[in-house]
Amino acid sequence: MAVKTRILDIITRVAAEQERRISKLTDETVLTDSGLDSLCFAIIVARLEDELGVDPFSQAEEIPFPRTVGDLVALYDRGAE
Partner 1 sequence: MTVPQIKPVVLRDLLNADTALRIDLPDDTSPALPGLDRDDLIQLAGRTVLIATRSQASTAAALIALDGVASAFVICPPDMSSDLLRSIAETAGVEAIITDHSDFDIGMNIPVLVRGTNNGIPDAKGLQQQETRWIMPTSGTTGRPKLVAHRFSALIGAISSTSASTNPVWATFYDIRRYGGLQIFLRACAAGARLVLTNPTEQLGDFIGRCTAAGVTHLTGTPSHWRRLLMSPFASQIDPAYVRLSGEIADRAILDALRAKWPSAAIIHAYASTEAGVGFEVSDGQEGFPAAYLGGLPGIYLKIEADTLRIRSSRTALTYVGPDAPVLLDDDGFVDTDDVVERVGDRCYFRGRRSGVVNVGGNKVHPEEVERVINLHPSVSMSRVRSRRNPILGDLIVADVVLKPSASAASELDHTKLKDEILSACRRDLARHKVPVALEFSASLPLIGSGKMGRQHA
Among 18, 51, 52, 74, which residue interacts with partner 1 (rule: CB under 8 A)? 18
Binding span for partner 1 by CB under 8 A among 3-11, 21-29, 35-43, 73-81: 35-43
30 vs 13, 52, 71, 81, CA distance in Å? 18, 22, 9, 25
16 binds partner 1 (CB under 8 A): no
9 binds partner 1 (CB under 8 A): no
3 or 45: CB nearest partner 1: 45
Alpha helices in 1-81 (DSSP H): 3-17, 38-52, 56-59, 69-80
